[in-house]
Amino acid sequence: MQHYPQATLYVVATPIGNLADITLRALHVLQLVDAIACEDKRHTQPLLRQYGIDKPLLAVHQHNEAEAAEGLVQRLQRGERVAYVSDAGTPAVSDPGARLVAAVRAAGFKVMPLPGASSVTTVLSAAGVTRAEGSEGSGSSFVFAGFLPTKAGERDQAIELLRTDPRATVILEAPHRIEALARAMAVLQGRLVTVGRELTKQFEEIATLPAQDLAAWLDAGPQRTRGEFALVLHSASAPEGPDDSLRILQLLLAELPLKTAVKLAADITGAARNELYDTALKLKNE
């Protein structure tokens, strides 16, 4: 059982939509602390009311984070426990909180994170992305880009960088900018994108499609431009090498079990084993 010392800032993840996603540990700490700092009292109060929690609320958001941190440090100096929550998800990722954490650590006080809901891990778990070429092991290798620049030219430059990076990338976007992002991502052509809309909420929608089709998908229904978005740009396919890896794989499959053929083809050609395995499955099913 973990202890919850005084003079500590507790960084608490909260639900990204479904209030049932709050953790038991988060509820315990929110009941325990002396005060709760939050991004917006109007968002936090209903959550606390749902679980019968009544604590002093302190506003700490992107416009006052540096100044508000001083007041919170003073509370910690008095030995208080203080929690910080953002409007939804894990603070200090794309939400405020990083400056507060840095100020508390600089003042010599403990910061204790309480993990929980995150749109990043939620959309990744439903995307089924695989590792980029040359990586070993299962699961996904990804980059978190957060919100891309709002200005068109800067956003286009950011997407051009994504084009040259074979790793999967998680992008967040607001509803009033999602159509512009979709149009800009069309240059990525057939590279797959998983789009998660209103994750964990009543009208949750998740789809995987080529980047060039994302704008048309949004246009297919008026509700599809509403809500918050988390997107995964999938790993790029391994580029074709000078050797004929497909031909070698086909020859080996004719004589050997699938896994053995894939291993030998990867050893011979240097191609990514995951890519060869996917290709082998398709060939077997044809």
Task: Give the tens place of pLDDT for each residue, 204-223.
Answer: 999 999 999 999 999 999 99
Mean of pLDDT over the chain = 91
Average pLDDT over residues 55-79: 95
- pLDDT value at 128 more than 50: yes
Q: Quick one: what percent of the chain has pLDDT higher than 90?
A: 71
Q: How does 257-286 read in b/e, with b if 16+ C-beta sit within 10 Å?
A: eeeebbbbbbeebebbbbbbbebbeeeeee
Q: Is 70 exceeded by the pLDDT of residue 137?
A: no
